[in-house]
Amino acid sequence: MVVFDDVSFAYGEQPVLRDLSLRIDRGQVVAIMGGSGSGKTTLLKLIGGQLRAGSGRVLVDGDDVTVMNEAQLYGMRRKLGMLFQFGALFTDLSVYDNVAFPLRERGRLPESVVRDLVLMKLQAVGLRGAAQLMPAELSGGMARRVALARAIALDPAIMLYDEPFTGLDPISLGVTGQLIRELNDALGGASIVVTHDVAESLAIVDYVYFLADGAMVAQGTPDEVRNSTHPFVRQFINGEPDGPVPFHREAEPYAAALNLERP
């Protein structure tokens, strides 16, 4: 349902994605892993058409996002749901109204149906009791789950999750993982999960892509990944500091920066 075809993207002069190709089919849940700043969030924004690729094509349900006009983009986004990395809850609306927002804005539903749907979604993320709170009164993990409930409110065919697991306790983490999987199976759509949580995501996804510095370095099914000998993958799933993934962003030598080296 989502296809990247040789996509490159740059913020001004700084290249972020390089010649990226991937495909996600109907019914699949796909994880995208990679270090911080490797371009994962950027990739999701390309799918939503909030950023436009410099070259290459991004196909969503067969239509090229890169050549759509404003109206077509809004039409395409009706098939999408996105969980933002930082939640992006509407701070002037209560939890209930946040989850109801997409239902009220997009569907012409009677208020009683909206109410039932909202309570269902909040129940799914375990926060029905927090319906009347304001976003400022939520903890980080609760806000994230409310954002998740809002993202799935309209049961979109294509779900984009930007780090759904960060900031969750182990119990909500497991429940959220199951929810993502079940939702995808029930709707028969496609889901993209951007994550750092190797163990949890390997348990629920069908396929994994590894991203480093804007390029695809490895891919495979969870089983292939677990048994992989690829140094990048090994380093990533075992969390080793040394290996092909540099922990440090490129910079001048540390000693030189601290003026330790005498000429």
Ligand X SMILES: Nc1ncnc2c1ncn2[C@@H]1O[C@H](COP(=O)(O)OP(=O)(O)OP(=O)(O)O)[C@@H](O)[C@H]1O
Which residues here bind ligand X, judged by CB under 6 A?
Answer: 11, 14, 16, 34, 36-42, 85
Residue 88: its H or E element: none
Please say which residue, 147 or 154, places its beta carbon nearer to ligand X. Answer: 147
Q: Residue 124 or residue 208: which is nearer to ligand X going by CB?
A: 208
Q: Which does 37 bind (CB under 5 to 8 A by kind): ligand X, other proteins, Mg ion, none?
A: ligand X
- Least distance in angstroms from the C-beta of 249 to Mg ion: 15
- Tell me how far, at minimum, the Cβ of 253 lies from other proteins, in Å: 31
Considering the complex, state which of residue 51 and residue 217 has its C-beta at the smaller distance from other proteins.
Answer: 51
- Amino acid 119 reads L
CA distance 28 to 80: 15
Nearer to ligand X, 40 or 144 (CB): 40
Cβ pair 99, 118 in contact under 8 A: yes
Assign 3-state DSSP to the chain and report helix, strand, coil percentages, each to 5: 40, 25, 35
Interaction pattern, residues 77-116, with other proteins; x per rule: CB under 8 A: xx-xxx-x-x-xxxx---------xx--xx----------
Report d(CA 214, CA 38) in Å as an integer: 5
Q: Which two tokens stand for residue 86?
A: 């930082």
Complex with ligand X: residue 18 or 79, whichever CB lies closer: 18
Q: How far apart are the first and last CA of the chain?
A: 58
Residue 11: contacted member of other proteins, ligand X, Mg ion, none (CB under 5 to 8 Å, by partner type)? ligand X
Structural tokens at position 243: 């290996």
Structure tokens given for 43: 């990739």
Taking the least distance from each CB to ligand X, the nearer of 86 and 90 is 86
Q: Which of ligand X, Mg ion, other proteins, none does residue 102 bind to, with CB < 5 to 8 Å depending on kind?
A: other proteins
Which of 45, 26, 25, 73 is CA-nearest to residue 194? Answer: 45
**By CB neighbour count within 10 A (0-12 exposed, 13-18 middle, 19+ buried), where does 255 fall?**
exposed
What is the binding site for Mg ion (CB under 5 A)? 41, 85
Would you tell me which residues interact with other proteins (CB under 8 A)?
48, 50, 74-75, 77-78, 80-82, 84, 86, 88-91, 101-102, 105-106, 154
